[in-house]
Structure 1
Amino acid sequence: MNSKLFGTSGMRGIPNVDFTPELVMKLGLALANLTHGNRIAIGFDTRLTSSFMSYLLSAGMLVGGAEVRNFGLIPTPVLAFLTSNTNCRAGAMITASHNPSEYNGVKIFDGDGMAFSHTLEKKVEDLMAFNNLHHVDSKSIGNVKRINCVDKYTEMVKESLTLKRKWSVVIDPGCGAAYSIGPRLFRELGCKVLTINAQPDGFFPGRPPEPTLKSLHLLSQMVRETGANAGVAYDGDADRMALIDENGRFVSMDQLIAAYGARLLSLKNKKKIVVPIDASMCIEESIEAVDGNVIRTAVGDVNVAESIVKNNATFGAEASGAWINPDYSLCPDGILSSLLVISKITSQKGNPTLSKFVSLASRYPILRKKINCSKKLHSEVIEKLQSELSNLMPGKSNIQTIDGIRITSKKEWILVRPSGTEPVLRITVESKSTKKTESLMKEVIKLIENIIIKLS
């Protein structure tokens, strides 16, 4: 068994191939051992294999003496919230998030509703790798209790925010876990709601689970045709969100983070936000304009959450749409985040639209691509790139190596980082001109391809 099981956001794979029944049960047993047979929460998304995996995971927990609280089909942020709210020692969400339908996975949370730290992930991996697992005797086997208390989450959200103006919103849960609770919360907060893909279906027939510019064309069309104020979309487990503005245009998440973050910090005493190394330079511009500070971290919501705690930050977000709002939870929450954005906009004078709010931040040409590269070559390629990339950006530049290598100058930056889940290198380039961004991307790809050829 591969001792490295966790990627940038939990475990992912194909059930019965990567996730054998033995592996899933073993994971459940490891969690029971780690929590000393305490109470563990379980939830799952709409994928066809989710119930299969929930039974196996529960079985492993039970033979380790744990008491299982099964919350059923719910979004990941709701499971994280209920893990803490119902005094469970850990939570396990069965989901592959934005991955295609044939995939599934497990995200694990601690008793505070925060994703397992890398230290806790390593403890789980070690327990499983060395077969250092304890089974209880038959008298101490745990029990499963099925619980429906989603209302605890909805009440928390409704008590936490208000919408000063009641928008017309089209919501696309993508046939995922937010199919019911997403539209419900918007309606209960006073919005006029239309929905598409709002039925639970693990085949994801309406669109892929990841809400992207390409996959949300129908949502964009509906927003334009109905005259709605916005379109809101979620991924398979609703820890990510995407927005469509009133003109039917896909909202740049980098630009939205910058605009929302600046507005948030202008109202707070704490002036720090956390973003990963691959986020746009427009974020620094907007945050520094309100005397704030941007802290960069490695890609992955676990890294963002840990940095928020370490630096006592107000907010953390990834360009993927995974936002963490620590005043409410340390788990990325697409549902809450989309409502918080609309709440901030509707509270402003002058009745600004979503597009006007986002335009408060600059937007620069940014390209994100990936190139095939064997995982065993990742570290060597990154090492050789360091001096070569500097030649592409002569003059004063800053080098960061917290996740791959990022070289930043005043007007542009380049990032090359190894994927945590695929045999590829991910490349991000941003500049203040489209021509420069495109030329830098071509040069970086050519440079990497030449290095790979020499090393192969």
Structure 2
Amino acid sequence: MFGTSGVRGPVGETVTAGLALEISRAVAVDADRIVVGRDARDSGRALVDAVAAGAVECGADVIDLGVAATPTVARAIAARDAGAGIVVTASHNPPEDNGIKLWTPSGQAFDTAQQDEIERRIEDGEVPYAAWDEHGTRTAWDGGKAAHCDALVDAGRRWAGTDDAGGGDASDTPDAAAEDAPLEGLSIAVDVGNGTGAVTADALYDLGAAVTTLNAQPDGRFPARPSEPTAETCRGLVAHVAGTDADLGIAHDGDADRMMAVTGEASFVSGDELLAVFGAEAAAEGERIAAPVDTSLAVDDALAERGASVVRTRVGDVYVAERTRDSGVVFGGEPSGAWIFPNETRCPDGPLAAVVLAALAADRPLADRVTDVPDYPIRRETIETDEKATAMAAVTDRVRASYDDVSDIDGVRVGLDDGWFLVRASGTQPLIRLTAEARDPDRADEILADVREIVEDALGAI
């Protein structure tokens, strides 16, 4: 039922009101107050009503934030002293999809064990129906967006150096005007992508930046561009930055848990580059950041310059968030655009990442920071097969017999002296994905050829 980011799929097939009822009933076993919200997709109207109904009939009180960014909902759980949060969203998926994601009071998504328990309760029909006169209540809360914005402004001031706590390099005490508006003089274009991330523009404006918005009208059909912010889908933002005096471009997905960026020179910044920029600023000597197994070696090398290091996780923001609980792990991120600042929240918070990046850009342009990140050749390839599980088992055996630095936390990843490779089965398609990276282009090609041979040999033996 649950994937790496909750339940997600086509409306009326994978995702239905009936499923929403079952999930919220199962969540209500442990939570007597639940915060709910949804993204801008029209199908979310029925689904969030079903979520609320299931919780209320099991005696839980529901705090409804309406259409709101996922991090806005996640942050509201602790603010409203709730036991859980449920967001109806398919995040960056196409408009015909929707989904349901569950959150804890820390802002972290339900982990694997918690998701498994929800599935067990549904399969066993474990429904804690309340008595006819003990149903919960459903109350709208209009203060969620304002509370999120206030938290973002506070974080922006800390990262801009007006407060030593919570990240960033503290500077000398600024005068009152600079403290109130640390981003004054910075021009920022925010592409909301017809999603729910307008709180980013509000916070940046409150911090003193000159803000221009693109595609700011929430519309779950995503008419302006596909929801996922990539180099291809953000060409409009790149063109806007190129044609104006903007110092920075920000782009969100449909529920604003992701954030990608464009430099003032109108260059789209890759996820690995952003991960290195954030990580190098967040981690001091001896500290670590968490990143998935498919993260570039460039991030490791950029962190090494600071005396910091990278710890690898499974692909998925929930796994990155889990690892930020480890001692010495001060930041987590995925190259897809999910950024986790555990001192603030363990929810991927795109608006928070935008505010932090703006504060960093106010001190030193993003383009200059990106030049500090090595640019290594990375090679990717897919091989079709209907025998993914059998093939991956055979590949793992072959790899373990030939290499020393092997991790199988998500697929099988091998570290080499001058690079690495990853073999991972697709979660949704009959494919095995191959990734190879090295500091030298010819060596990257060589590593990819070697790993291709391993996979083809394994498939040939099936």
The TM-score with structure 2 as length reference comes to 0.89
- 1:380 matched to 2:399? The reply is no
Structure 1: which 5+ residue stretches go unaligned?
A: none
Q: Deviations over 1:337-359 (max 9, x none)?
A: 12112212323xxxx32111111
Contact 1:270–1:314 at 8 Å: present in 2 too? Answer: no
Q: Which residue is equivalent to 1:216?
A: 234
- State the distance in 1 between where 2:326 and 2:56 align: 34
- 1:227 matched to 2:245? The reply is yes
Contact 2:200–2:355 at 8 Å: present in 1 too? Answer: no
* C-alpha spacing 1:437/1:135, structure 2 compared with 1 (3 Å): same
* C-alpha spacing 1:414/1:353, structure 2 compared with 1 (3 Å): same
CA RMSD for the aligned pairs? 2.1
* C-alpha spacing 1:382/1:87, structure 2 compared with 1 (3 Å): same
Contact 1:397–1:410 at 8 Å: present in 2 too? Answer: no
- Per-residue deviation, 1:111: 2.1
* C-alpha spacing 1:221/1:60, structure 2 compared with 1 (3 Å): same
Q: Deviations over 1:383-430 (max 9, x none)?
A: 211355579xx8x75111111100111222111123344443333221
- State the distance in 2 between where 1:183 and 1:230 align: 12
- State the distance in 1 between where 2:262 and 2:56 align: 44
Q: Which residue is equivalent to 2:304?
A: 288
* C-alpha spacing 1:363/1:390, structure 2 compared with 1 (3 Å): farther
**Worse-matched range after superposition: 120-129 or 397-406:** 397-406
Q: Which residue is equivalent to 2:49?
A: 55
Q: Which residue is equivalent to 1:274?
A: 290
2:29 match: secondary structure: helix
- 1:188 matched to 2:206? The reply is yes
Q: Which residue is equivalent to 1:156?
A: 151
Q: Amino acid of the residue matched to residue 394 of structure 2?
A: K
- State the distance in 1 between where 2:30 and 2:430 align: 31
Q: Amino acid of the residue matched to residue 160 of structure 1?
A: A
**Correspondence list, 1:309-320, <5 A:** 309-320=325-336
Q: Deviations over 1:325-379 (max 9, x none)?
A: 01110101111012112212323xxxx32111111121212234544444xx333
Q: Which residue is equivalent to 2:266?
A: 248
1:98 match: secondary structure: coil
Percent identical among aligned pairs is: 31
- State the distance in 2 between where 1:367 and 1:46 align: 36
Q: Amino acid of the residue matched to residue 408 of structure 1?
A: G
Q: Deviations over 1:159-184 (max 9, x none)?
A: 22235443111111110111x21221
- State the distance in 2 between where 1:449 and 1:148 align: 56
- Per-residue deviation, 1:43: 0.7
Q: 2:11 aligns with which of 7, 11, 15?
A: 15
* C-alpha spacing 1:445/1:176, structure 2 compared with 1 (3 Å): farther
**Correspondence list, 1:67-106, <5 A:** 67-106=61-100
Contact 2:30–2:83 at 8 Å: present in 1 too? Answer: no
- State the distance in 1 between where 2:235 and 2:301 align: 30
Q: Amino acid of the residue matched to residue 411 of structure 1?
A: D
**Worse-matched range after superposition: 12-21 or 328-337:** 12-21
**Worse-matched range after superposition: 64-73 or 134-143:** 134-143
- Per-residue deviation, 1:434: 3.1
- State the distance in 1 between where 2:400 and 2:111 align: 33
- 1:28 matched to 2:35? The reply is no
Q: Amino acid of the residue matched to residue 337 of structure 1?
A: A
Q: 1:41 aligns with which of 11, 29, 35?
A: 35
- 1:339 matched to 2:355? The reply is yes
* C-alpha spacing 1:63/1:202, structure 2 compared with 1 (3 Å): same
Q: Which residue is equivalent to 2:369?
A: 357
* C-alpha spacing 1:239/1:410, structure 2 compared with 1 (3 Å): same
- Per-residue deviation, 1:446: 6.2
- Per-residue deviation, 1:447: 5.0
Contact 2:73–2:85 at 8 Å: present in 1 too? Answer: yes
Q: 1:302 aligns with which of 289, 314, 318?
A: 318
Q: Amino acid of the residue matched to residue 29 of structure 1?
A: R
Contact 2:86–2:100 at 8 Å: present in 1 too? Answer: yes
Q: Which residue is equivalent to 2:133?
A: 139
* C-alpha spacing 1:405/1:245, structure 2 compared with 1 (3 Å): same
1:59 match: secondary structure: helix
* C-alpha spacing 1:370/1:54, structure 2 compared with 1 (3 Å): farther
- Per-residue deviation, 1:132: 2.0
1:310 match: secondary structure: coil
- 1:401 matched to 2:395? The reply is no
- Per-residue deviation, 1:259: 2.8
The TM-score with structure 1 as length reference comes to 0.90
- 1:202 matched to 2:220? The reply is yes
Q: Amino acid of the residue matched to residue 405 of structure 2?
A: N
Q: Which residue is equivalent to 1:176?
A: 195
Q: 1:167 aligns with which of 186, 201, 221?
A: 186
1:337 match: secondary structure: helix
- Per-residue deviation, 1:195: 1.7
* C-alpha spacing 1:373/1:108, structure 2 compared with 1 (3 Å): farther
2:302 match: secondary structure: helix
- 1:330 matched to 2:346? The reply is yes
- State the distance in 2 between where 1:303 and 1:92 align: 18
- State the distance in 1 between where 2:62 and 2:110 align: 18
> What is the total number of aligned residue pairs between the two structures?
437
- Per-residue deviation, 1:454: 5.0
Q: Amino acid of the residue matched to residue 131 of structure 1?
A: G
Contact 1:7–1:421 at 8 Å: present in 2 too? Answer: no
1:19 match: secondary structure: coil
* C-alpha spacing 1:446/1:227, structure 2 compared with 1 (3 Å): farther
1:314 match: secondary structure: strand
Contact 1:275–1:297 at 8 Å: present in 2 too? Answer: yes
